Structure 1
Amino acid sequence: MKHLKQKIRNDKREFRIVEDGVIVDINDVGNIQNYKVNFHDIGKDEYINLKAAHPLAWLFVLSGVLNIILVTTVLTEFFQTSFEQGKWIFVGAFMVFVIIIASLKEHFQKVSMKNLASNKPLSFIYTKKYQSEVDAFIGEIHSEQRNFYKNMYYRIDPILPFETQKNRVLWLYENNHINENQYKTILKELENKRIIDGE
């Protein structure tokens, strides 16, 4: 899985794994971001935080309640209705408003976001709907990151000094990009090359 699309409320997110990193496209209520996070800048740490409802959603609720009161008052005065009838107008209008709010409930809920440590935001919508997809996608990021580092450092370079290559291979091993057998194999090849080159 090298592509992930997500949407909740007005928040649309798209992530694509490319050869050397992750392309991120975010469109959240007019806040449009498009950037790339290189594999060099992605860490292993993950954390979850809650994203609160947009403040405009609560402003909508307050505005709705005030408008219901205003409409009830205007209708009661205009039609010269009794207080009892005015109460029924208010209750009817309020029930319609509650139904509208219930249909838009996702705009008022906090949303879990799973973040991957990096120098630029790698933040995924982590609701029940997306949890397994996000976990699989993050696993794919780490897998592609390991492949990227292996392709870059897990080879014998005829130009680089022995110590530099040895340090690179050790770094790959310490960061779990290669296993112990791979580490010992390439270290042995490096030692043989050093002996042949007479270093």
Structure 2
Amino acid sequence: MKELLQKNWPEYRKYTIREDGLYLEVKTNEGFTARLIKFEEIGFDEIITKYQPGPYATGFFLSVFFNLLFLLVFLLDFAKKFNISSGVSSGLTGGIIVCLSIWGRTIFKFEKQKILKGEVAIVFDYFRKKQEQVDLFINELKAKQRDYIRKKYMEIDEYLPHESLRNNFIWLYESNYIDRQELQDLFDKLDKKVIIKGF
């Protein structure tokens, strides 16, 4: 079983390749989710996205930051003149710093992600340090999916209709799970089975 763990505070994702699919666990501030993504739902069309703050959001944040800074200096000076408790001014300063830190973290969020697009989108953090690890994991997932699909759909099940089996084999070929020779061999085996069964 192959695993990949990605931590990007306050979020972490854990990917585990299982026999029947990819088990994904995601933990965020909002909660925890876990699900199994079946191999049939996984696609390998890759999209790379990069998020960085826009100039307007940055400008607005800096404007608010400096205005609050000047307001804080004014309030601290005001508190000194009128002998207001230092606890009040410390609390006010701490509150402003915490609020600006949380807001700044959401605005200045730099992310690079690789997304596997299929029936279910699978997202990986894809910064430079993580790229090689993610690419190796995706290659292993691809190989495991290929083995699983071939084993499951190349089998000639005597209880399935002849036409359904032919359609399965054509789908395997069109999806590049088998080559042309393997497709022909499957058709030959299927035709022999039908003849023997019909006899």
Q: TM-score, normalised by structure 1?
A: 0.71
CA RMSD of aligned residues (A): 3.4
Pairwise CA distance, 1:195 = 2.1
CA–CA distance in structure 2, aligned partners of residues 196 and 108 of structure 1:
69
**Which residue identity lines up with residue 24 of structure 1 in the other structure?**
L
CA–CA distance in structure 2, aligned partners of residues 62 and 148 of structure 1:
56
Instruction: Tell me the alpha carbon deviations over residues 109-146 of structure 1, each in whole angstroms, 9 at most, x when there is no partner.
Output: 42111111134441111111111121222222222221
* Contact 1:150-1:177 within 8 A present in 2 as well: yes
Aligned-residue identity in percent = 29
Pairwise CA distance, 1:6 = 0.6
**Which residue identity lines up with residue 197 of structure 1 in the other structure?**
K
CA–CA distance in structure 2, aligned partners of residues 110 and 137 of structure 1:
23
Instruction: Tell me the alpha carbon deviations over residues 50-73 of structure 1, each in whole angstroms, 9 at most, x when there is no partner.
Output: 3457xxxx8997886556435533
1:125 matched to which residue of 2?
125
CA–CA distance in structure 1, aligned partners of residues 13 and 176 of structure 2:
30
Instruction: Tell me the alpha carbon deviations over residues 56-97 of structure 1, each in whole angstroms, 9 at most, x when there is no partner.
Output: xx89978865564355335556778xxxxxxxxxxxxxxxx9
CA–CA distance in structure 2, aligned partners of residues 163 and 16 of structure 1:
36
Unmatched 5+ stretches in structure 2: 82-96
Describe the SS at the equivalent of 2:140: helix
1:175 matched to which residue of 2?
175
Instruction: Tell me the alpha carbon deviations over residues 8-42 of structure 1, each in whole angstroms, 9 at most, x when there is no partner.
Output: 23221111111221111112333432222112222
CA–CA distance in structure 1, aligned partners of residues 119 and 62 of structure 2:
37
CA–CA distance in structure 1, aligned partners of residues 24 and 121 of structure 2:
9
* Contact 1:50-1:112 within 8 A present in 2 as well: yes
* Contact 1:146-1:177 within 8 A present in 2 as well: yes
CA–CA distance in structure 1, aligned partners of residues 73 and 129 of structure 2:
41
* Contact 1:37-1:120 within 8 A present in 2 as well: yes
Pairwise CA distance, 1:158 = 2.1
Aligned residue pairs, count: 176
Unmatched 5+ stretches in structure 1: 81-96
Pairwise CA distance, 1:4 = 0.7
Pairwise CA distance, 1:198 = 2.5
